Amino acid sequence: MAAITAACGGASPDFDEFQRQASLMTSCTLLWKELSDHFESLEEKLMSRSDVIKGKIKTLEMETEKSLSSLEERESTIEKSVSIAMRKVEEAIQKAKDSIGIKNEFKQQEEDNNKNNDCEEEDFYKKLKCFCVEMDSEAFWGFICGKKKEIDFMRENLPLAFNDCVDPAMFVLDAFSEVFPVDKRTDCGNGNDLGWACVLLLESLVPVLVDPVLGSARAFVTPGVKKRAVEVAETWKASLDERGGVESVKASEVHTFLQHLVTFGIAKDEDFDLYWKLVVGSAWRKQMPKLAVSLGLGDKMPDMIEELISRGQQVDAVHFTQEVGLVDKFPPVPLLKAFLKDAKKAATSIMEDPNNSGRAAHLAARKEQSALKVVIKCIEEYKLEAEFPPENLKKRLEQLEKVKVEKKRPAAATPANKRTRACTMGPMPPAKAGRITNTYVSSFPAPPPTYVRSPQHTQYHSPPYAVPPQMYGHGNTRSPPANHYTAYSPEHSPVLSYPGTPPMNYPPHPPGGYVGYGGFQQAYYR
């Protein structure tokens, strides 16, 4: 028994050591497994990143190859494009020579049209073509500025006329140099904004500058013209600070500047922040979304739309989303409803403003009307009737219009053919029969009869109450009427009273409709 106990006691340390070693082996196995998994995970991540990098390198190589191929193609087509352009220049020069013989004929037609005040389309186009062939930019500019009513016809035919110019790009730069980049008119045109004409010429120049071989991928502009276009853009940017910065510049000038950059292809990456501010500041103009994309701001469009929404320009945001295809990210219907909600809040605030107590109802109704018109037009333009039926909006607009018309109705007045004569209380003759312009009719209690004596006498009986002086005749004429001997008979004098409240004179709508963020744009500039 003792031997067995001794044997067990002696074997106990070896068994404990065995258990310790077994536990250590288990821990090492688990640790090895954990480390193996960790390294496998790292290897997988490295492989994944390596694949991404390889994909990017491959894409970059493809883009580089494509760019190099494009550059080679552009380089190889320069000679062909130049030859085509030179042929066009030679043709334009020949047309200019031929036009010398018929110049007097065009001028005679112009004089005849001016006398008759009738500008036929054919003669109108001949005049445009004549100016372009002769490169008479000064006369061309004066002619264009006086024909704003024919802007649609000019937009269609100016590109055709520019094709006859020896250098259409230089011709356009010379034409509007009087007003852009800096208005050089001494009287500033008496408020005559010619931004529409500048934009019209720049837009019409775009198809003319298209490369004859590569198309719209390259604007065919000579180095000299491009240098001058850059100088014009830099001059305009330098004048911004002198005129109060981006916030103070006119929207028409902003439109002209941005279209100038797009037409001549001279946008700069370092000026993207400036383009952003200009586009957002004039976002209500219809061409701004397209100009923003053409300037290279397409990638920044989501952020730009977010800014427009934050500034309460939801309708402008809808136009931007439609242009760049972000309708899924920025659904238009919620934006339009938010716009109407903000307009309603603004109208309510106007009603509660004590400073507008006299016109509060009118101003609030006008603001709501403008918002309804803009939203209805937007719904119809983008075919949103299924998502946002405009019937209720149209009914509300009709109600506001009806109230507006009723308020503008003049008060009932005495018909002209039933006016009374102050002296006899009888019906007055027709307007052509007499010369009295201001007739006094008393509404005081009738005094005892007083007779008016002839003007030949030096003294008159004064009435018992003050009588306003009567004005006879027209203008400064002071001669009395022919029947000044007729006695005044108060017994037959009717008592007349004028309406206590005169008709309210409503202020006119601001020019251009909605400008800024407090109003609502009704028509976008084309």
Residue 207 has a pLDDT of 92
Give the contacts of 405 (CB within 8 A, at least 6 positions apart).
none
Angle in degrees, 0-180, between the axes of helices 360-381 and 314-324, rounded to the nearest 10: 10
Say if 376 falls within a structural domain.
yes
- Using the predicted structure, report yes or no on whether residue 292 has a pLDDT greater than 90: yes
Say if 395 falls within a structural domain.
yes
What are the DSSP calls for 443-466, one per residue? -SPP-S--PPPPTTSS--PPPSS-
Say if 396 falls within a structural domain.
yes
pLDDT digits (tens, 9 = 90+) for 328-382: 999 999 999 999 999 989 888 888 877 766 678 888 888 889 999 999 999 999 9
Q: Look at 512 and 427; give whichever has higher pLDDT.
A: 427
Say if 442 falls within a structural domain.
no
- Using the predicted structure, report yes or no on whether residue 510 has a pLDDT greater than 60: no
Residue 347 has a pLDDT of 87
- Using the predicted structure, report yes or no on whether residue 391 has a pLDDT greater than 90: yes
Q: How many residues does the chain have?
A: 526
Residue 100 has a pLDDT of 55
- Average pLDDT value for residue range 507-520: 37
Q: Which of 111-125, 375-389, 392-406, 482-496 tops mean pLDDT?
A: 375-389
- Using the predicted structure, report yes or no on whether residue 469 has a pLDDT greater than 80: no
Say if 361 falls within a structural domain.
yes
Angle in degrees, 0-180, between the axes of helices 168-175 and 195-205, rounded to the nearest 10: 180
Give the contacts of 56 (CB within 8 A, at least 6 positions apart).
none
Q: Which domain holds residue 354?
A: 342-406
Please state, in angstroms and rounded to a whole number, the distance separating the CA atoms of residues 286 and 35.
Answer: 63
Say if 306 falls within a structural domain.
no
Phi, psi of 497 (to 5 degrees): -135, 140
The structural domain count of the chain equals: 1
pLDDT digits (tens, 9 = 90+) for 71-127: 777 777 777 777 777 777 777 666 666 655 555 555 555 555 554 444 467 788 888
Burial 463-490 (b: 16+ CB within 10 A, else e): eeeeeeeeeeeeeeeeeebeeeeeebee
Percent of the chain past pLDDT 90, that is, above it, reads: 37
- Average pLDDT value for residue range 188-192: 59
Three-state helix/strand/coil letters over 46-60: HHHHHHHHHHHHHHH
Say if 391 falls within a structural domain.
yes
Please state, in angstroms and rounded to a whole number, the distance separating the CA atoms of residues 320 and 302.
Answer: 9
Lowest-confidence region among 142-156, 161-175, 183-197, 286-300: 183-197
Say if 98 falls within a structural domain.
no
Q: Which of 175, 153, 174, 172 is nearest to 163 (CA)?
A: 172
CB 468 within 8 A of CB 489: no
pLDDT mean across residues, the chain: 74
Supply the Cα-derived Rg of the chain in whole angstroms: 41
Q: Look at 431 and 180; give whichever has higher pLDDT.
A: 180
Decide: pTM greater than 0.75: no
Give the pair of three-digit tokens for residue 75: 């380089």
- Using the predicted structure, report yes or no on whether residue 61 has a pLDDT greater than 60: yes
Please state, in angstroms and rounded to a whole number, the distance separating the CA atoms of residues 175 and 256.
Answer: 14
Please state, in angstroms and rounded to a whole number, the distance separating the CA atoms of residues 254 and 278.
Answer: 6
Residue 70 has a pLDDT of 77
CB 369 within 8 A of CB 382: no
- Using the predicted structure, report yes or no on whether residue 59 has a pLDDT greater than 80: yes
- Average pLDDT value for residue range 309-318: 94
pLDDT digits (tens, 9 = 90+) for 150-162: 999 999 999 999 9
Q: Which of 79, 81, 72, 68 is nearest to 220 (CA)?
A: 81
Lowest-confidence region among 3-17, 22-36, 96-110, 434-448: 434-448
Residue 256 has a pLDDT of 95
Give the pair of three-digit tokens for residue 261: 């950059």
Q: Look at 467 and 252; give whichever has higher pLDDT.
A: 252
pLDDT digits (tens, 9 = 90+) for 218-273: 777 888 999 999 999 999 999 888 888 888 899 999 999 999 999 999 999 999 99
Q: Read off the pLDDT band of 484 (50, 70, 90).
A: very low
CB 210 within 8 A of CB 216: yes
Lowest-confidence region among 26-40, 410-424, 448-462: 448-462
